[in-house]
Amino acid sequence: MESKQACRACGEPSLRVVLSLGETPLANALLTAEQLDKAEPRFPLDLARCPTCGLVQITETVPPEILFADYLYFSSFSDTMMRHVRDLTGCLIRERHLGPQSLVVEIASNDGYLLQHYVAAGIPVLGVEPAQTVARAAEERGVRTVREFFDEAVARDLATRYGPAAVIHAHNVFAHVADLTGVVRGMRALLHPDGVVVIEVPYLRDFLEHCEFDTIYHEHLCYFSVASLDGLFRRHGLTVVHVERVPVHGGSLQVYVSRGGEPSPAVRRILAEEAESGLNGEPVLTDFARRVAEIKERLTGLLGELRRAGKTVAAYGAAAKGSTLLNYTGIGRDTLQFVADRSPHKQGRYMPGVHLPIVPPGKLLEARPDYVLLLTWNWADEIMAQQAEYRRAGGKFIVPIPDPRIV
């Protein structure tokens, strides 16, 4: 594990810590029953800001070989995400006239959830995915996959072997990258002169406004604004030519990057809005830290009142954000019965740090807890629709972010 004292984007040597969540276990390191009695590695979880380029980032870098050795997040288990990528890929196929002569690459392609739509359309694809479990699932879908961590050397090798990419996707991975320079240079090396890179990252503005502190964990190294992304790509000869805000993951940016061209009116407008609002300054982060402490106090207070009233409470969503929330707030087995999750790959394991058992969603109807703490609040509508029978039976959900509330 490495403490990062210099900015990951511009190299500024002095970062300013704005929020500390203490020392926490790795958020996706779900435990087996045999591991419960063993000590869990814990790492500082401190959020900092670069005073030069404004990039918000954590200060610790856990080696990716540790983070992703036993990775159990499968993107295809979210119906909302599947609809989102289906619509996006269909739009790109039409607008960029993609066909059998095109190559589409995805960095961190997970279980092939996105690239499968290109495969179905007869368009050649290549996934780059280091996590063995999800890479195997992608290959079973017919998605050609290279099991590597993407960097400049890998990109040059792929360009030699397969040719340049008409489209490079990087969805919910850019924030995980320790070597931003290596990945951006790799994108440029692999991209066709007329190609486009499509990146989706959680947006710093939504992160701050909605107080999404639970999305801080050791996989998420960086938290981007349009300004910080624009500066990063410009330093490496690429241009942010368009940007859109999309609702996935609590509010994200969909960013289009190319070798040439000019920023669209949407890019210029959002850059101006960020400058006017002070989004890339330090005061907004100071206020964010204050509100994080208030959410902790209100949520633990609410759960304490329910427990004293004799109510039973479970949780839903064995996601990384849930691990951060539970470990930071100290909510564990004395408050919650279990964590339900739709993914069979997580069922039978235990949440890091707090050691809550992970069970199938059917357990909600079997155990009938009075309340369910919705850890994966970013999929609230989808999950509550799936759990309509539990709600009809009188069950209620607690949504913790941005203000703890019962629905």
Select the more confidently predicted residue: 266 or 65: 266
**High-pLDDT (> 70) share of the chain, %:** 96
pLDDT at 249: 73
Asked if residues 365 and 337 have their Cβ atoms less than 8 Å apart, the reply is: no
User: How high is the mean pLDDT of the chain?
Assistant: 93
pLDDT digits (tens, 9 = 90+) for 192-250: 999 999 999 999 999 999 999 999 999 899 999 999 999 999 999 999 999 999 988 77
Mean pLDDT value of segment 340-346: 93
Long-range pairs, 33-36, Cβ under 8 A, ≥24: 33/348, 33/350, 35/350, 36/350, 36/355
pLDDT at 2: 53
Q: Residue 22's closest CA among 3, 1, 48, 45? A: 45
Confidence label for 386 from pLDDT (cuts 50, 70 and 90): very high
pLDDT at 132: 84
pLDDT beyond 90 at 264: yes
Mean pLDDT value of segment 310-339: 97
pLDDT at 329: 97
**High-pLDDT (> 90) share of the chain, %:** 87
Confidence label for 131 from pLDDT (cuts 50, 70 and 90): confident
DSSP string, 225-279: -HHHHHHHHHTTT-EEEEEEEE-GGGSEEEEEEESS----HHHHHHHHHHHHHTT
pLDDT digits (tens, 9 = 90+) for 187-202: 999 999 999 999 999 9
pLDDT at 250: 73
Neighbours of 38 (CB within 10 A): 9
Assigned token pair, 34: 């045999």
pLDDT beyond 70 at 18: yes
- Positive or negative CA dihedral for 110, 114, 117, 123? negative
pLDDT beyond 60 at 143: yes
pLDDT at 172: 87
pLDDT at 237: 96
pLDDT at 105: 98
Specify the fold of 304-406: Rossmann fold (3.40.50)
pLDDT digits (tens, 9 = 90+) for 78-107: 677 788 899 999 999 999 999 999 999 999
pLDDT beyond 60 at 69: no
Number of H helices, E strands in the chain: 14, 19
Q: Give the single-character DSSP code of 368.
A: -
pLDDT beyond 60 at 1: no
Break the chain into its structural domains and give their ranges: 304-406
Mean pLDDT value of segment 173-182: 92
Asked if residues 165 and 195 have their Cβ atoms less than 8 Å apart, the reply is: yes
User: Cα–Cα distance between 215 and 317 in angstroms, integer?
Assistant: 13
Q: Which residues fall within 8 angstroms of residue 121, CB to CB, at 6 or more apart?
A: 89, 93, 98
pLDDT at 375: 97
